Chains A and B, each alone.
Chain A
Amino acid sequence: MSRRMAKYGTAAATLAIVMSLFIFSWLTLEVPFPTNEYASSKLTRPLAPEEPYDGIATLVSRFLWEYRALDLTGQAFVIVTAVICCLALLKPEEGAS
């Protein structure tokens, strides 16, 4: 059983992937997505005008610092944790610490 799986496994997986490609593409193109119909219009959000294309970055960072400061603080701690994680995995082991 497992030998047959090992022989035909790659071909079956490729077939499954190609079929899911076709099904996803068909779904995306044929079925309409009413994306903006479910959004509530009562929620006014500060939208950024897209005309001066290079000013969008400044507006996004202003949005971040004005509305999402808690998450940015947490993100800083995540970056510190990632640095300490890489240190812990890559430090050579000495004897007893």
Chain B
Amino acid sequence: MLPLSPFLVSVALMLVIGLGCLMIKRDMVRLLIGVEILFNAANLCFIAFSTQNIGFVDPFAHSVVMMAIVLDGTVIAVGLAMVLNVYKHYKTLDIRKLRRLRW
């Protein structure tokens, strides 16, 4: 049985770092990396809680994480295709230039 606190501290750290990356960075690809960091934080949280049985590992959390990794890959792929299209129109990757729509 592994100690839980280091895992939870790293999950909290990764959440804050991912959110900070989403808030601060202006490059669109870096925003995608921030979303990826948030995904990894959530998956690590599941795996951390699955080790909390003495001598056993809970396979339910592992199955949730396996499905979530696949979904995360598809979402990032679609996001990257969208970033490509944005570059074709705006000729820049700066997200602060996307202000033509009101919201």
> Which positions in A face B, CB cutoff 8 Å?
10, 13-14, 17, 20-21, 24-25, 27-29, 33, 35-36, 45-51, 56, 59-60, 63-64, 68, 71-72, 75, 78-79, 81-82, 85-86, 89-90
Contact = CB atoms under 8 A, between A and B. Distances in A.
B87 interface: no
Interface of B: 4-5, 8-9, 12-13, 15-16, 19-20, 23-24, 49, 51-53, 55-60, 62-63, 66-67, 70-71, 74, 77-78, 81-82, 84-85
B59 A86 contact: no
Given A13-B23, A17-B20, A47-B53, A68 B63 contact: yes
Contacts of A79: 70, 74
A50 B55 contact: yes
Nearest to A89: B81
Contacts of A49: 55-57
B70 A28 contact: no
A85 B78 contact: yes
Q: Which 3 residue pairs spanning A and B have beta carbons closest together? A: A82-B74, A47-B56, A89-B81
B71 to A, nearest CB: 7
Contact of A46 (B16, B19, B59, B77): B59
Given A20-B16, A72-B67, 6 more contacts: A36-B52, A49-B55, A75-B70, A78-B74, A79-B74, A90-B81
A89 B80 CA distance: 10
B57 A28 contact: no
B24 A48 contact: no
Contact of A45 (B58, B70, B84): B58
Nearest to B84: A90
B55 A71 contact: no
A12 to B, nearest CB: 10
